[in-house]
A and B are shown apart, each in its own frame.
Chain A
């Protein structure tokens, strides 16, 4: 589904200082996979996730989505792909505090260019019920708990029926119990909804709950 071929990411820090964040990464994410990208902080795992999620571009190498080289896509086409193909879940939840829970979940549908075949409002209600946050529909994100906020974020990632969910340290801001609940939810999405899930983490026991571990150290895969 997604293939990375010899991907490098370099940052020009000064005139003659170049920082290499990713070194020659080649990787294939299969459809329906449930993987963990694991590495210590500063290993380049977030950068790699941003490249897989089409938020960032590789300095060298190719990123292929369903066989298409994304280097050939325009900014608008990349936006559409992020909208339809990828769902993001962040450590900081990254909800918009001035919109209600339901409005946050519906936000990606306002940017949809394709015709959505289902009723987005009805679908958002179904997802909220499934995640146990239905009674918070009209609450604002800063008025609900961290666990609930992360459920809202996952619901938002799910609303456009993406093929891929990218979760960047999804349990990083939660206590162990809530973190486990979120992991259960992501596992469920992979199993029952057949969505490809990639979790970025530095914790071994989180990675242990996935089917495949991808180790990254100092910008290179191990």
Chain B
């Protein structure tokens, strides 16, 4: 108790010095906590995007994207093959597959009355709405019948609806012109978000894939999404899909991947980048620790007489050691807590724009690391204080 009070007394008497010394730790903790908060936010954002795309799905895509769980660096990832309806049919014959969803996608210009908007055409089956977790906010979604009858209908995203027709509700029943063809809007889907460099799902145009053959004259697909009948069938579906496709294409011309696999590969890349950044930021913590060591040496010198008095009254070496360790840990913790508080305020301020957040681990880590710095950099000055001879200390003027 006396140690803590004594430490605070010294700090309050030297406010400027205390402030400057803990500033080093403050900046270090601020940098580490903020970078971690941004990393966590980015990860949460990516995970949300994937979740919105629907999880537990298997994607068949051209090129070799993943190799042993991380991104492949072969150029084949960019030399695309394209799938056709035969592939779709073959995949549909796999027993454990529930739905097969071929996807053709490209940028188009959609026109309605005087308004022109760029949009992403997403041509597929009715299954795409299940896979992407989309519901009709107004009107209806297209059906299997619309696909087989090649109905000239489209379902559009809420942003596209607003941009073309002022309101989402008014879009129903209107027609949209895409590359000379007219399509009737039968539905507007719910908002999904997007952006930040990723695709803006709210400006998509969904069309039955057979209807889209007028725009997709090669009748090919960029990707085929499979859904297994149950979770435990997923592995079997992946293996069989690979077997079926390898009869047609080379092993490295296509990938059959699970959503989670891709997510974990992306996550592992981000966590490496984040770890490197945090490690660089942690250097400033070491610099801060050296500042604390410096000040603690000064403090010991200033208090030699006091150390002598305490020793004369019966303090052991370990009592003196502990007293100075407590002081340096408190000094370091002041910086740590201030840095943490400041990061919290900054995160609060940027949260409306970016989903950064501080988790419990960061809080515990920041407090733990600043205590550890207090101990590591305080132990040498404290040892010097403890090892003073009582008689020399008490005679010191």
Residues of chain A touching chain B, judged by Cβ–Cβ distance below 8 Å, are 50, 53, 55-56, 75-76, 79-80, 82-84, 88, 94-96, 98-99, 103, 107-108, 110-112, 156, 160
Contacts and interface: CB of A to CB of B under 8 A. Distances in A.
A111 B315 contact: yes
B13 to A, nearest CB: 8
B316 A98 contact: no
26 contacts: A50-B391, A55-B390, A55-B391, A56-B390, A75-B316, A76-B316, A76-B317, A79-B314, A79-B316, A80-B314, A82-B311, A82-B314, A83-B313, A83-B315, A84-B314, A88-B312, A95-B309, A96-B6, A96-B309, A98-B10, A99-B2, A107-B2, A107-B310, A111-B313, A111-B314, A160-B314
Contact of B319 (A50, A55, A84, A111): A111
Contacts of B10: 98
A80 B314 CA distance: 6
Contacts, number: 66
A205 to B, nearest CB: 27
Interface string B292-313: 0000000000000110011111
* Chain B, interface SS category: helix
B213 interface: no
Contacts of B13: 98
Nearest to A100: B5
A94 B394 contact: yes
Contacts of B310: 96, 107, 111
B391 A56 contact: yes
Interface in B213-270: none
A94 B309 contact: yes
B313 A108 contact: yes
Interface of B: 1-2, 5-6, 9-10, 13, 305-306, 309-319, 390-391, 394
Contacts of A82: 311-314
A115 B254 CA distance: 79
B315 A79 contact: yes
Contacts of A53: 312
B9 to A, nearest CB: 4
Contacts of A111: 310, 313-316, 319
Contacts of B9: 98
A94 B309 CA distance: 7
B272 to A, nearest CB: 50
A107 B309 CA distance: 10
Nearest to A75: B317
Given A55-B311, A55-B394, A80-B314, 10 more contacts: A55-B390, A55-B391, A56-B390, A94-B305, A98-B10, A98-B13, A103-B2, A108-B313, A110-B2, A111-B314
Contacts of B394: 55, 94
A95 B309 CA distance: 8
A84 B319 CA distance: 16
A22 B5 CA distance: 41
A50 B306 CA distance: 17
A98 B391 contact: no
Contacts of B6: 96, 98-99
Contacts of B316: 75-76, 79-80, 111
A154 B238 CA distance: 87
A72 to B, nearest CB: 17
Nearest to A95: B309
